[in-house]
């Protein structure tokens, strides 16, 4: 019997050990795989346990990049009717979370890429995935750098900053109007409601605002509409302020005021996602006020970086305005002028009245005295200025005899152009322009209220020329024979009926159309005189020897 009998060959022992070692190794691999397959989704991705395709497209691109942007835009919409600081705070929180989720996504994706080839994947996929991560990092860094200003602004809003200056409320003299000035900030509507509760006589809200939060503009509009108040603009009302303006029962603006419109927009989020929502919000909001489709589309097409200022005719057609205003409808002067000297200083801010104060201080004093009396009675600006213009007109007529030839020619042309413009609109106003005693109403506005705005600038320029160029040395005395000869020459082209209307107050009563036509014919006849005679005839016609010129200062 051999030495090996009764036992196993050595070769069998070697094979058994190999199989045992292999089995133990297999158990170790299976155990490691089993261990790696356990754990939470976030941890598994962070370690790179998922496939490269899933890690990149699902976890990094969709979850870590697109979802936060979508969530921010959704949050901005959901908080649209909340105070701005709440919505912006939520946006900032999600923005911070998005940076963390992006870091989580790219780290896990990078680690998955490192194991991709060992799993049987292609090397080019690893290179492409890592290149996309690097490019994405550069893109994120660049966009974050450019967004630092936006983030800083959002942080300030989250801490309570408003888009506009602090809002103030001023009940005007007489208690019929209240000025809302400042931004459409959080709390503006509540403040207006409290101010109105303390001033129950108010019928008009005067708006002076460059805008603010859309939500607050709507709330101010609700206060105005709920109380049936009118709205009026003396200077500017833009952006969200227009929502408050449109809530007025009666809506008007000063001829020099502006209403500015642009698309409403969301603070925070991705502009590419917000843009369709913002356009829909603009259309829905302005449709609530019954504005026509084309007007609303023009608003929606105007970016928030600018404003569209429609003309008064455009706003009348779109029912933005309910009527045309001559301006000066509220008691600004009566409110601002606590003393007579305050009012005088306000008048001196006008180049015309400042010139009058320097050249003819006594005349200026008379005008201020009259204005102060009206202001103490809580008269509107229009009533105060109309009375002042009437007094200034009396000064002008007393200056005509000592005016320069240039001033007389400009004055004559102005009166003719005014009469022709008024003849188209109102024969009564045309007559009143030449014969002030024919006034049939006490509206206080006078015929100038019916003239286009450019006439006011012309009248101021002519009056300033009369004041600055007036000189007693310009005065000339004419005999009655010289005056009669000048009148015959100027009136030679007029008919007998026209002459009767111009010379007889009784003939003018109840005959405004014929009187206006006769007045225009007379003024045209004077202008048609030969140039070498015109200046002399002007001075003859406007000479008033029986009256003294205005007192010089």
Q: How are beta strands 168-171 and 177-181 bridged, if at all?
A: antiparallel
Least confident of 55-59, 124-128, 144-148, 497-501: 144-148
- So where are the chain's domains? 36-158, 168-317, 332-542
Residues 444-482 have pLDDT tens digits of 456 777 888 788 889 999 999 999 999 999 888 888 887
Q: What SS3 string covers 302-364?
A: CCCCCCECCCHHHHHHCCCCCCCCCCCCCCHHHHHCCCHHHHHHHHHCCHHHHHHHHHCHHHH
What CA–CA distance (Å, rounded) separates 267 from 83? 12
Output 7 or 125, whichever has higher pLDDT: 125
Residue 77 banded pLDDT, cuts 50, 70, 90: low
- What's the mean pLDDT when you consider all of the chain? 82
Give the homologous superfamily in CATH for domain 168-317.
2-enoyl-CoA Hydratase; Chain A, domain 1 (3.90.226.10)
Residue 320 banded pLDDT, cuts 50, 70, 90: very high
Least confident of 277-281, 344-348, 512-516: 277-281
What CA–CA distance (Å, rounded) separates 217 from 202? 20
Residue 292 has pLDDT above 70, yes or no: yes
pLDDT at 444: 45
Supply 204's token pair. Answer: 């008009």
- What lies within 8 Å, CB to CB, of 317 at 6+ separation is 292
Q: Please indicate, yes or no, whether the overall pTM of this predicted structure exceeds 0.85.
A: no
What CA–CA distance (Å, rounded) separates 149 from 454? 44
Average pLDDT over residues 188-196: 96
Q: How are beta strands 258-260 and 236-238 bridged, if at all?
A: parallel
Strand partners, 179: 170, 206
pLDDT at 36: 44
What is residue 418's three-state secondary structure?
Answer: helix
Residue 70 has pLDDT above 50, yes or no: yes
Residue 100 banded pLDDT, cuts 50, 70, 90: confident
Residue 73 banded pLDDT, cuts 50, 70, 90: low
Q: How far is CA 68 from the centre of its chain?
A: 34
Residues 370-424 have pLDDT tens digits of 999 999 999 999 999 989 988 998 898 889 989 998 899 899 899 999 999 999 9
- Cα Rg of the chain, angstroms: 41
Residues 512-524 have pLDDT tens digits of 999 999 989 988 9
- What lies within 8 Å, CB to CB, of 18 at 6+ separation is none
- Could you identify the residue written with the tokens 């991560």? 133
- What lies within 8 Å, CB to CB, of 417 at 6+ separation is 455, 458
Residue 257 has pLDDT above 80, yes or no: yes
Output 143 or 464, whichever has higher pLDDT: 464
Query: What contacts 24+ positions apart, CB below 8 Å, involve 219-227?
Result: 219/188, 219/189, 219/190, 220/180, 220/184, 220/188, 220/189, 220/192, 220/244, 220/247, 221/246, 221/247, 222/189, 222/247, 223/189, 223/192, 223/193, 223/196, 224/192, 224/248, 225/249, 227/196
pLDDT at 546: 38
The candidate with the shortest Cα–Cα distance to 300, out of 281, 320, 274, is 281
Residue 39 banded pLDDT, cuts 50, 70, 90: low
Q: Please provide residue 291's backbone torsions phi and psi, each rounded to the nearest 5 degrees.
A: -75, 150
């Amino acid at each position: 019997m051999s030495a090996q009998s009764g036992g196993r060959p050595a070769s069998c022992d070697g094979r058994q050990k190999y199989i045992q070692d292999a089995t133990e190794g297999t158990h170790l691999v299976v155990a490691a795989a089993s261990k790696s397959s356990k754990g939470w989704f976030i941890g598994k991705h962070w370690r790179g346990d998922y496939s490269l395709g899933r890690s990149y497209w699902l976890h990094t691109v969709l979850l870590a990049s697109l979802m936060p942007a979508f969530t921010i835009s959704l949050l901005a919409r959901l908080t649209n009717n909340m105070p701005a600081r709440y919505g912006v705070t939520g946006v900032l929180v999600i923005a911070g979370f998005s940076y963390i989720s992006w870091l989580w996504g790219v780290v896990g994706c990078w680690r998955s890429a490192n194991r991709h080839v060992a799993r049987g994947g292609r090397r080019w996929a690893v290179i492409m995935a890592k290149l996309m991560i690097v490019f994405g990092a550069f893109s994120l860094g660049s966009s974050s750098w450019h967004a630092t200003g936006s983030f800083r602004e959002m942080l300030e809003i989250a801490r309570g900053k408003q888009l506009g200056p602090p809002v103030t409320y001023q009940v005007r003299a007489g208690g019929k109007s209240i000025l809302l000035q400042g931004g459409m900030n959080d709390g503006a509507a509540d403040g207006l409601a409290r101010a109105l509760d303390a001033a129950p006589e108010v019928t008009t809200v005067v708006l002076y605002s460059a805008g603010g939060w859309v939500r607050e503009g709507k709330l101010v509009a609700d206060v105005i509409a709920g109380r049936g108040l009118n709205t009026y603009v003396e200077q500017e009302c833009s952006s969200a302020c227009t929502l408050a303006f449109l809530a007025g029962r009666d809506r008007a603006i000063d001829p020099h005021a502006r209403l500015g419109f642009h698309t409403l927009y969301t603070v925070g989020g991705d502009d590419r996602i917000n843009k369709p929502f913002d356009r829909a919000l603009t259309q829905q909001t302005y449709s609530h006020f019954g504005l026509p489709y084309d007007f609303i589309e023009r608003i929606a097409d105007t970016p928030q970086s600018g404003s569209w200022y429609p003309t008064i005719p455009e706003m009348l057609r779109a029912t933005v305005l309910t009527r045309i205003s001559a301006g000066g409808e509220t008691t600004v002067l009566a409110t601002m002028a606590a003393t007579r000297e305050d009012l005088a200083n306000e008048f001196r801010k006008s180049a015309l009245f400042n010139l009058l104060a320097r050249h003819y201080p006594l005349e200026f004093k008379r005008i201020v005295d009259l204005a102060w009396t009206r202001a103490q009675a809580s008269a509107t600006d229009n009533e105060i200025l109309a009375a002042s213009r009437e007094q200034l007109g009396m000064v002008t007529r007393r200056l005509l005899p000592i005016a320069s030839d240039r001033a007389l020619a400009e004055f004559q042309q102005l009166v003719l152009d005014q009469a022709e413009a008024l003849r188209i609109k109102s024969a009564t106003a045309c007559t009143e322009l030449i014969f002030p005693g024919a006034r049939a109403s006490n509206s206080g506005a006078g015929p100038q209220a019916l003239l286009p705005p450019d006439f006011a600038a012309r009248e101021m320029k002519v009056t300033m020329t009369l004041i600055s160029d007036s000189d007693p040395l310009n005065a000339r005395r004419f005999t009655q024979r010289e005056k009669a000869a000048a009148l015959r020459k100027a009136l030679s082209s007029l008919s007998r009926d026209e002459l009767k209307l111009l010379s007889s107050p009784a003939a003018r009563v109840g005959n405004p159309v014929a009187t206006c036509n006769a007045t225009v014919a007379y003024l045209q006849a004077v202008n048609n005189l030969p140039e070498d005679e015109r200046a002399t005839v002007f001075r003859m016609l406007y000479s008033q020897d029986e009256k003294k010129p205005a007192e010089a200062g």
